[in-house]
Amino acid sequence: MKILSAAQMSWVDQQTMKDQEVSSLDLMERAATTVFDEIKQLYPRLAQYTFYIFCGKGNNGGDGLVLARLLDQQQAQVNVYLVDATDYSTANLANQKRLSAHLIQKISPDTQVHIPAGAIVLDCLFGYGLKRPLAEEWRSLITGINCCTGPIYAIDMPSGLLSDGPTAAEAPVIQADVVYTFQSPKLGLLMPGNSRWAKAFRVLDIGLSRSALEQVDTIFHYIDLALLGPFYRKRSKFDHKGTFGHCLIIGGSRGKMGAVQLALKAALRSGCGLASAYIPSCGYTSIQTAVPEAMVISDPEEEMITQFPDTRTFQSIGVGIGMGTAQYTIDAFKVFIMQGLDTALVLDADALNILAQDRDLWQFVPKGSILTPHPKELSRILGTWQNDFEKLEKVKAFAEEYQLYILIKGANSAIVTPDGTVYFNSTGNVGMATGGSGDILTGILTALLGQGYSSQETLIMGVYLHGRAADIAVQTLGVYSLLPSDIISHLPAAFLELEKQS
């Protein structure tokens, strides 16, 4: 799914009116009705609820006015607070007239509101039309709304949050529990720094012109199952273990051997033909026992890796998890990386930490390799950033300079390719915030790369399935109790969904 900017949304909006011969008013009715359907599903007995609907002067406010009419028709208690203006949009004005006047109360940006307990707030002050951060005069209204005890649903965007650029931490912005955004996710909804304003969002299909959506050119994409379908490979009857690659996980140190176990199990659940590990010798028995399907080569040293194996017979190599940064390991890793390998690697954890200490090493990392840093590892590599948008630019520049694929891990993990394309993940949940989740991802990615998927395909598919397995798992286990190993045990269900869709 494409992620569109405000300007692109506006263009698609205009094209839709032409292509489908509908008016702005029709489109607004359609958009607001999709939100109304969602709200009705959440609160089937609408007549028992009170809604506080805050409307601006543009089309986002127009959506709010339509919603107010639809809710009023279902006997919900409706209170509309409309910002007083002289320049309402045409569709906004038309919808004011279609609503009983006694429901509307005019307010100004500095009005202080008090929302009673139990009321539901619909935020329709500003959508993608917000051009710059809201001025100070809006603070009292926004703060009043944010102080409500009930849920806040934002229409299209939380008001005050910019769709395409950074919003200052201290800016007045609505803190939405759920954002119902139209047709395409907006960048502002995906950035971790904006999470207190957009706690969750849902993309609602409002039937905008397919051909217009296809024509829009963007570097930003949102990963869904449809994106994986075209490159997912079905297996044939005569395939054998040699077809699916021999993957190697290099990592582990005394006390951190579990990382390698998790990665191996995840690799085996992700379809590799053969899986091997290279580890310090203290882990030999535990790995052989815990993962009988895997083969183990051990370093002469007990506690840490002091030399790297000959990797020429492996189709893919994942390096760094649980590996530690003992000087012997650092020295051995440097020799390994400086030999000039011709296979793309999956580099995580301590492999990244070692590389981060010596910028001269990056030139030796094979082109097309995959880096999977979490935020701390990323800052060790790139230094600091002012906001998520600047972080993304820094990652893009680095990915291009060294021709690498970089995954910025977290909620809505972002894949950045060497040509500057960015894919945001749509799966995953906070239950994954437990040590070990990343080791599993390394296993999945190494297995997919070894099966011949390109680095880009590996990342799109691996990151999606990793999160999807966790999403399936939390349906029965919940976010508090989810263990990284539960992600592995639910990988089959995630793969089955993909198999069915393809």
Ligand X SMILES: NC(=O)C1=CN([C@@H]2O[C@H](COP(=O)(O)OP(=O)(O)OC[C@H]3O[C@@H](n4cnc5c(N)ncnc54)[C@H](O)[C@@H]3O)[C@@H](O)[C@H]2O)[C@@H](O)CC1
Ligand Y SMILES: Nc1ncnc2c1ncn2[C@@H]1O[C@H](COP(=O)(O)OP(=O)(O)O)[C@@H](O)[C@H]1O
411 binding ligand Y? (CB under 6 A): yes
261 binding ligand Y? (CB under 6 A): no
Residue 428 interacts with which of K ion, ligand X, ligand Y, none, CB < 5 to 8 Å by class: ligand Y
What is the spatial distance between Cα 171 and Cα 174, in angstroms, rounded to a whole number?
Answer: 10
What is the spatial distance between Cα 439 and Cα 258, in angstroms, rounded to a whole number?
Answer: 9
430 binding ligand Y? (CB under 6 A): yes
Q: How far is the CB of 25 from ligand X (least distance, A)?
A: 9
Measured in degrees and rounded to the nearest 5, phi and psi for residue 200 equal -155, 155
Residue 426 interacts with which of ligand Y, K ion, ligand X, none, CB < 5 to 8 Å by class: none
Residue 259 labelled as part of a binding site: yes
Q: Which is nearer to K ion, 31 or 494 (CB)?
A: 31
Distance of CA 6 to the CA centre of its chain: 19
What is the spatial distance between Cα 240 and Cα 233, in angstroms, rounded to a whole number?
Answer: 14
Distance of CA 208 to the CA centre of its chain: 23
Residue 409 labelled as part of a binding site: yes
Residue 404 labelled as part of a binding site: no
Q: How far is the CB of 142 from ligand X (least distance, A)?
A: 12
Q: Give the range of 59-67, 282-290, 382-390, 443-451 binding ligand X by CB under 6 A.
A: 59-67
SS in 3 state form for 364-382? HCCCCCEECCCHHHHHHHH
131 binding ligand X? (CB under 6 A): yes
Q: Is 271 helix (H, G, I), strand (E, B) or coil?
A: coil
437 binding ligand Y? (CB under 6 A): yes
Binding mask 27-56 for ligand X (x = CB under 6 A): xx--x------------------------x
Contact between residue 62 and residue 90 where contact means Cβ atoms under 8 Å apart: no
Provide the 10 A C-beta neighbour count for residue 252: 30
Q: How far is the CB of 219 from ligand X (least distance, A)?
A: 20
- Does an H or E element contain 294, and which? none
Residue 160 interacts with which of K ion, ligand X, ligand Y, none, CB < 5 to 8 Å by class: none
Q: Which is nearer to ligand Y, 8 or 426 (CB)?
A: 426
Residue whose tokens read 């990797």: 311
Residue 182 interacts with which of K ion, ligand Y, ligand X, none, CB < 5 to 8 Å by class: ligand X
First-to-last alpha carbon distance for the chain, in angstroms, is 17
Residue 191 interacts with which of ligand Y, K ion, ligand X, none, CB < 5 to 8 Å by class: none
Strand spans (E) along 178-242: 178-182, 201-204, 220-222
Binding mask 64-93 for ligand X (x = CB under 6 A): -------------------------x----
The arrangement of strands across the sheet holding 422-424 comes to: 220-222, 422-424, 414-416, 405-408, 370-371, 345-347, 316-319, 246-250, 274-280, 295-299
What is the spatial distance between Cα 113 and Cα 145, in angstroms, rounded to a whole number?
Answer: 7
Tokens of 400: 């291009």
Q: Crossing angle of helices 24-42/6-20, nearest 10°? A: 110
Contact between residue 16 and residue 211 where contact means Cβ atoms under 8 Å apart: no
Residue 129 interacts with which of ligand Y, ligand X, K ion, none, CB < 5 to 8 Å by class: ligand X
Name the DSSP class of 232: P
**Site size toward ligand X, by CB under 6 A:** 27
Binding stretches for ligand X (CB under 6 A): 9, 13, 27-28, 31, 56-63, 89, 126-132, 134, 155-156, 182, 206, 208
Annotated binding site for (6S)-NADPHX: 59-63, 127-133, 156, 259, 322, 374, 439
Chain contacts with ligand Y (rule: CB under 6 A): 349, 374, 409-411, 413, 428-430, 432-433, 435-439, 441
Q: Which residues are annotated as a binding site for AMP?
A: 409-413, 438
